[in-house]
Amino acid sequence: MNAEWRWDFAIEILPQMLLATLNTILAAGIGYAIAAAVGLLFLLGQRTPIKIVNMINREIVEFIRSTPLLIQLFFVYFVLPQFGITLSAWVCGMITIGLHFGTYLSEVYRGALEGVPKTQWEACRALNFSSFYTYRKIVLPQAFPIAIPGMGNYLVGIFKDTPLLSTIGVAELFHAATAVGGYHYRYLEPYTIVGLIFLTLSIPAAMWIRKIEKNVNLAQGKIKKEQL
């Protein structure tokens, strides 16, 4: 084995890698959509006025948050068939990522709702708005901008955790790299290309989120234009 970077090999495998990147992006997108919805469910569990529901919800969230995604993946993938539910690796992966990051997103939502000043709620109460109207017209328009940076960060976070899906056999970018590497017995180029693809996708995304964050802060008057 030598350390020489072989351009011909790198170029030969590049189309295959780029194709697999599409799968990675797709996985991240679907996983994120599920996580966003699951996050809402957890938020609902947290805000219902029934104490026991709050407690159970908190324990579930705490448990999911403090155990590794990798073992959760294995758990869903290997245990569900024992109960007669056989799902494909893709579905298992999406469910697990959705549940795992849903707990994080519920925290983002909660923070955003708490970020809306209390006086806003009180004013709505004083004006006798229904709670639906309060949420739709007053609270959510103010909470959403607060949630954007956190939501964006977890989108990038999910994107960076998709390589874990390769362990249960989802054919995404990292899986493709391992397969190509094993076939040619050269790991230098595939893994380096994977790293570069991740960099070229996640750094612009992170910069874009930072820009949105700044705009949100500007719009809310938390910072002034001169400070930028």
* Dihedral over alpha carbons 153, 154, 159, 165 (to 10 degrees): 160
Q: Which two tokens stand for residue 159?
A: 């994107």
DSSP class of residue 67 equals S
- Pairwise CA distance, residues 166 & 164, whole Å: 5
Count interface residues toward another protein (CB under 8 A): 38
What residues from 55 to 114 belong to the interface with another protein (CB under 8 A)?
62-63, 65-72, 74-75, 78-79, 82
Measuring CA to CA, which residue among 197, 219, 212, 220 is closest to residue 10?
A: 197
Our CB check for another protein shows the closer of 131 and 200 to be 200
Phi, psi of 217 (to 5 degrees): -60, -40
- Pairwise CA distance, residues 21 & 198, whole Å: 9
Quote the least distance from Cβ 94 to another protein, whole Å: 18
Residue choice 174, 175, 176, 209 for contact with another protein (CB under 8 A): 174
Single-letter residue type at 207: M
Our CB check for another protein shows the closer of 129 and 187 to be 187
Quote the least distance from Cβ 116 to another protein, whole Å: 23
* Cβ atoms of residues 40 and 48 within 8 Å: no
Measuring CA to CA, which residue among 120, 150, 140, 149 is closest to residue 216?
A: 149
Q: Which two tokens stand for residue 112?
A: 């955003």
Quote the least distance from Cβ 167 to another protein, whole Å: 7
Quote the least distance from Cβ 178 to another protein, whole Å: 8
Per CB under 8 A, 183 contacts another protein:
no
Residue choice 48, 195, 208, 222 for contact with another protein (CB under 8 A): 195
Give the x/- contact pattern for another protein in 132-171, rule: CB under 8 A.
----------------------------xxxxx--x----
Q: Which residues contribute to the site for another protein (CB under 8 A)?
A: 1-3, 62-63, 65-72, 74-75, 78-79, 82, 160-164, 167, 174, 178, 181, 187-188, 191-192, 194-195, 198-199, 202-203, 206
